Amino acid sequence: MPNPTTQVAIVGGGPVGLVLALFLDFHGVKATLFNTEPAERWHPKGNGQNARTMEHYRRLGFSDEIRQLGLPGDHPFDQAYFTRLSAHEIYRFPMPSRDERISMRRQMPLTDQLPEPMFHVNQMYVERYLLARARTRPHIDVRFGWHVEWFTQDESEVRLHAGKADGSEAATWRAPYAVACDGGRSFIRKTLGIGYEGDVQTRDAYWAGQFFSIHMRIPDLYPKFIGHRRAWMYWAVNPDPNTRGVIIALNGADEFMMLVKPKDGHRDVDPDEIADWVKRSIGADIPVHIVSYYPWSAGQALVAERYKAGRIMIAGDAAHLFTPTGGFGMNTGIDDSSNLAWKLAAVLQGWGGPRLLASYEAERKPIGHRNTGASRKYASRMHDAVVPADVEVDGPRGDAARRAASELSYVRKNHFVRPEEQDGVGVQLGSRYDGSPIIVPDGVPPPDSFPETYDEYVPSGIPGGRAPHLWLDEKRLMGSSLFDRFGPGFTLLRLDAAATDTGALQRAAAARSIPLGVLDLDLPPARELYGRGLALIRPDQYICWRGDRLPDDVDALLARVTGC
């Protein structure tokens, strides 16, 4: 039997491996996706698909489907703080429901930079959707239930040996490239001898040290206690250390997760003790069915020393580990996959040069450091607060204690003024690749505030950043975003009637087989956003060059942005 072959072998079918496979498919590249477990995980982890991730889903054609998952359309996404869920409400940070957010979108200006605002739905529902979608795609060979046991690489290819868990089948695949999306314990990263840089914080911040993540069904919680004060996140604020955590609504009916940091850290617990923590958080002895639970550690800010070794790239948790504040872990990994997929496609299809894949590390590793730093900063805003002792007492003494509790950093943490923007919009949309060898700077310096602008995103036409967004139609439906008009390859935006003679670039692109589309936009706000008459947009929606007229040597420009 000859060895099976594929264009890209992806090790790990978590959210990052799945989205990478879908992006490769979008670019016409065949991938084989190996994942040890035979099905998606059924335990809740991340709860936020951020604005950039939702833009990626839009590009792949399914952001609307993702917005149908999780909570019902009219369920608020508020964050609410209670002494216990059945008792006093202390503070509430209102957030619009899915339906309200859709109507808000219609009222935003045409230059709205959040065409796909962050959406709170648990990763497990999304992974189930992504896996089902991957199974329908012609270029993806889904090998769930296949564990990659060893690999080797030389100058021309990677060989990976994978087998089914029951030992019934095994084979050694050959591929020009492989990507390790095999999570925080990545055996590929470790075998390549690549360590993590950074550190693990265990003290001082609330989001550090040993937590438990609990998946549970509580059929009585809505009807008996919170029906009229629904929220997406319920925080318990009281002096009892084993209730200090957060309960998150998953399906708006009976399914919840709880993240809790027990007083004495990691130890053996049984489902009865876990259920007891949940009931104490609710403040009522109601039936709690524990579906699953596992201990996990918060406080990491770790980034792989290298993102590439020979023909193998690293993405997702294999490349960076976060503390959960801000919800950047998975989202940063999905952004890695968007950056990497088109580069792999370009090299495999012959229009990308020898420096293109190296630019993946040059562009994404600094973002790994930036984003893990942002999570760490948000975590530090939530100190392990001392909750006033009287917070649960009825009457004026308790009211005063609850007012004091509502001011704790643990409660106010990182809520921002504009709910439509949500936490960390600068982290979500503001990654920049200034200094990348495949970006052509135009002499205008990037904003001074980068990379520390976590809470603000200022659209900019300066090469190296995400292309600014614009609605092209009042209805703001699929197809009416500027991003929907970008082709799968490069797009040359012509924003100025005077800059229309772009034939030389188009001819040079054709000669190099570079996919290039041209989009004319004669809209003053577009010209203002981009700052020049012409802007060249990469397949991952980043600006790699801009000018008022083409450079004399258009071929050199194309060579540079494709890593030749």
In the window 218-277, what residues touch ligand FAD (CB under 6 A)?
259
Task: Tell whether residue 484 is a contact of ligand FAD (CB under 6 A).
Answer: no
Task: Tell whether residue 329 is a contact of ligand FAD (CB under 6 A).
Answer: yes
Among 7, 201, 213, 375, indicate the residue that binds ligand FAD (CB under 6 A). 213
* Count of residues engaged in binding ligand FAD, rule: CB under 6 A: 34
Task: Choose among 559, 480, 481: nearest CA to 513.
Answer: 559
Task: Tell whether residue 316 is a contact of ligand FAD (CB under 6 A).
Answer: yes
Among 55, 78, 182, 255, indicate the residue that binds ligand FAD (CB under 6 A). 182
Q: Which is nearer to ligand FAD, 148 or 529 (CB)?
A: 148
Task: Tell whether residue 375 is a contact of ligand FAD (CB under 6 A).
Answer: no
**Alpha carbon distance 403, 388 (integer Å):** 10
Task: Tell whether residue 147 is a contact of ligand FAD (CB under 6 A).
Answer: yes
Task: Tell whether residue 189 is a contact of ligand FAD (CB under 6 A).
Answer: no
**Alpha carbon distance 530, 451 (integer Å):** 20
Task: Tell whether residue 14 is a contact of ligand FAD (CB under 6 A).
Answer: yes
Rounded to 10°, the helix 51-60/15-26 angle is 40
Task: Tell whether residue 46 is a contact of ligand FAD (CB under 6 A).
Answer: yes
CB 400, min distance to ligand FAD, A: 34
CB 59, min distance to ligand FAD, A: 18
CB 16, min distance to ligand FAD, A: 3
Instruction: Report phi then psi at 59, rounded to 5.
Output: -60, -35
**Alpha carbon distance 483, 471 (integer Å):** 9
Interface stretch with ligand FAD, choices 178-186, 245-253, 278-286, 409-417 (CB under 6 A): 178-186
- Grouping H, G, I as helix, E, B as strand and the rest as coil, residue 296 is strand
Which residues does residue 148 pair with via DSSP β-bridges, in sequence order? 162
Among 32, 63, 123, 243, indicate the residue that binds ligand FAD (CB under 6 A). 123
Q: Which is nearer to ligand FAD, 187 or 530 (CB)?
A: 187
**Alpha carbon distance 412, 406 (integer Å):** 7
Rounded to 10°, the helix 554-561/503-511 angle is 50
**Alpha carbon distance 529, 71 (integer Å):** 35
Among 8, 9, 10, 17, indicate the residue that binds ligand FAD (CB under 6 A). 17
Task: Tell whether residue 47 is a contact of ligand FAD (CB under 6 A).
Answer: yes
CB 147, min distance to ligand FAD, A: 4
Instruction: Report phi then psi at 548, rounded to 5.
Output: -90, -15
In the window 148-167, what residues touch ligand FAD (CB under 6 A)?
148
Q: Could you tell me the strand order of the sheet in which 543-547 lies?
A: 516-520, 490-494, 534-537, 543-547
CB 504, min distance to ligand FAD, A: 42
CA distances from 310 to 154, 156, 185, 313 (A): 8, 10, 20, 8
**Alpha carbon distance 331, 335 (integer Å):** 6
One DSSP character per residue, 259-278 reads EE--TT-S----HHHHHHHH
Among 9, 15, 345, 529, indicate the residue that binds ligand FAD (CB under 6 A). 15
- Grouping H, G, I as helix, E, B as strand and the rest as coil, residue 555 is helix
Task: Tell whether residue 379 is a contact of ligand FAD (CB under 6 A).
Answer: no
Interface stretch with ligand FAD, choices 170-178, 305-313, 321-329, 382-390 (CB under 6 A): 321-329
Name the site residues for ligand FAD (rule: CB under 6 A): 11-17, 34-37, 45-48, 123, 147-148, 181-183, 187, 213, 259, 296, 316-317, 324, 327-331, 333
